[in-house]
Amino acid sequence: MTNARTGGDLISVVVPVFNEAEIIRTFHERTSMVLNGLNGMRHELIFIDDGSSDGSYEILRELARADASVRVLRFSRNFGHQIAITAGVDEARGDCVVVIDADLQDPPEVIVPMVEQWRDGFDVVYGVRSERDGETAMKLMTASIFYRLLGRITNVQIPANVGDFRLMSRRMVDQLKLLREKDRFVRGLVSWVGFRQTGVTYHRQARTAGVTKYPLGKMVKFAFDGITSFSTAPLKLATWMGYVAALLAVLYLLSVFVQRALGHTVEGWATIMVAMLFLGSVQLICLGILGEYLGRVFTEVKPRPMYVIQERVGQVDEARQES
């Protein structure tokens, strides 16, 4: 390990790729330019092909053959963005590790100020989006609600405008690698580890090509992972809903007595149906919440690896291995 943060340091750049054929070459070109401009630093680019089916892998393989700093891991199928990031970080050997999207929404030029902050002693330098082009108002609103909720019910504080674009120091990465949970919410895990963290502001661009690989369903799963990995508050929510439902039932019972005393005829079935439906739905919600946690316990208990690598291209930096 090099201790002095001067020349000779290795920076690893981890790039999850899922059907990004249209943009990979541009990404590689632009990012290499930035990395070559970093004073006295060597670099490695680690692409994780997360089961692409559009020829992304073939392009990556060519890149790796032409550029010795490129390494490619090909998953056996699509494992998801957070797992792809994890595999890349596991593979990285750098003194610092950057995680960046392949779609150029995170401008690689921002790596330069990130490295500066790292040299100043920060362990995590995350990208803070000052503006976000090409994102729907819906995405911005749900993100803001989600992170505020997460901050309230857990001790994981993540600003709404921070993604996975970040630089991490070696000691941060080593800690992160110890957290092997499978339903991963990487930015939460990084925040959980702690150390010295700071942000650099950047302007998030719209995608230059391709479409988002995060449809609504995946975003909901991601949000659930975020909350359930750091909080048991939803389990308590179930209890509270139970109390409220019970209280409402008692109030309703009283009102039935009053109606009776006043001589109103009670239209039995409609009211019973309402009460039944109400209780039924509260129970289903509670069961659902239990199910979410139980499902995650189930996932953790199975001793499966997090991902399966089908192929790899490119060599590990020899000089690095000796040190």
Q: Which of 12, 19, 86, 105 binds Mg ion (CB under 5 A)?
A: 105
Q: Is 197 in the site for Mg ion (CB under 5 A)?
A: no
Q: Is 123 in the site for ligand UDP (CB under 6 A)?
A: no
Q: Is 95 in the site for ligand UDP (CB under 6 A)?
A: no
Q: Is 195 in the site for ligand UDP (CB under 6 A)?
A: no
Q: Which of 20, 49, 50, 103 binds Mg ion (CB under 5 A)?
A: 103
Q: Which stretch binds ligand UDP (CB under 6 A): 178-186, 211-219, 220-228, 269-277?
A: 211-219
User: CB under 8 Å to 76, separation ≥6 — which residues?
Assistant: 51, 308, 309, 310
Distance CA 151, CA 148 (A): 5
Contact 225, 187 (CB under 8 A): no
User: CB under 8 Å to 272, separation ≥6 — which residues?
Assistant: none
Minimum distance of ligand UDP from residue 170's CB (angstroms): 24
Q: Which of 9, 91, 95, 103 binds ligand UDP (CB under 6 A)?
A: 103
Q: Is 129 in the site for ligand UDP (CB under 6 A)?
A: no
Question: How many binding residues for ligand UDP (CB under 6 A)?
Answer: 16
CB atoms within 10 A of CB 202: 18
Residue 115, classified by CB atoms within 10 Å of its CB into exposed (0-12), middle (13-18) or buried (19+), is buried
Q: Which of 9, 20, 95, 225 binds ligand UDP (CB under 6 A)?
A: 20
Name the binder of 234 from ligand UDP, Mg ion, none, CB < 5-8 A by kind: none
User: Mapped to the 3 state alphabet, what secondary structure does 44-84 carry?
Assistant: EEEEEECCCCCCHHHHHHHHHHHCCCEEEEEECCCCCHHHH
Q: Strand order of the sheet with strand 309-313?
A: 197-204, 124-132, 162-169, 96-99, 10-17, 42-49, 70-75, 309-313
CB atoms within 10 A of CB 281: 12
Residue 47-76 contact track with ligand UDP, rule CB under 6 A, x = bound: ---x--------------------------
Which residues would be at the binding site for ligand UDP (CB under 6 A)? 16-18, 20, 50, 78, 80-81, 84, 101-103, 105, 212-214
Which residues would be at the binding site for Mg ion (CB under 5 A)? 101, 103, 105
